[in-house]
Amino acid sequence: MTVHRGYRRGLFGLITLALALLFGTSDLSPGLSIGARAAQEEPFQACFIELAPHTDESDTSRVLAENCFDDPESAADFSVNLHARDSVYVIFTIWEHANFGGSSYEWYSTSGCSGDYGYDDFNVIGWNDRAGSARSACGRTVNLWEHTYQMGASVLINGYHSSLGVMNDQSSSWDTAN
């Protein structure tokens, strides 16, 4: 019996994995722990995107800078240095998993908290239908939309949301609501 990660779920999946490990028939490489295997299949990435507020000529925020890191330590160092600056205002953050776990995207501004902000298409960053938790900051409420270009169903994010409920893995864009 070969265990394939993702094919079996729940109690049956746990029993299958236990039997496979007991009898040595798992597809895990020798010496590779289950945690390391999961980390190997699910790479980490943290990105920080600076946005300009919408203008009268445009309904979308312009991306001014983007910094992405595959290493958690490098991402943490960048985040600490970025947030130490007085002129940085975090607008919105999404995480891949519930409870703020996994990879993340953070949108921020150096223009202050006021103004309208948004991001029209998570496909551009490879995050369509991928967010599992979110945080709005800067005293802003954010609409997290089901489809690109702020269409379809939406959920209001005000502060920390450790789970997106029915919008889990269903969002494709966002914009500020207030």
Measured over the CA atoms of residue 119, residue 123, residue 128 and residue 133, the dihedral's sign is: negative
pTM equals 0.75
Q: Answer whether residue 111 shows pLDDT above 50.
A: yes
At 26 the pLDDT is: 37
Q: Which residues of 158-176 are buried (b: 16+ CB within 10 A; e: fewer)?
A: eeebeebeebbebbbbbbb
At 31 the pLDDT is: 37
In the chain the domains, ranked by start, together with CATH numbers, are 10-41 (no CATH), 46-176 (2.60.20.10)
Q: At 9, which amino acid appears?
A: R
Q: Answer whether residue 85 shows pLDDT above 70.
A: yes
The residue that leads in pLDDT, 129 or 25, is 129
At 178 the pLDDT is: 72
Mean local confidence (pLDDT), 111-137:
95
State pLDDT tens for residues 18-73: 444 444 443 333 333 334 334 446 799 999 999 999 887 777 899 999 999 999 99
State pLDDT tens for residues 130-164: 999 999 999 999 999 999 999 999 999 999 999 99
Q: How far apart are CA 143 and CA 157, in angstroms?
A: 6
Q: How far apart are CA 90 and CA 110, in angstroms?
A: 9
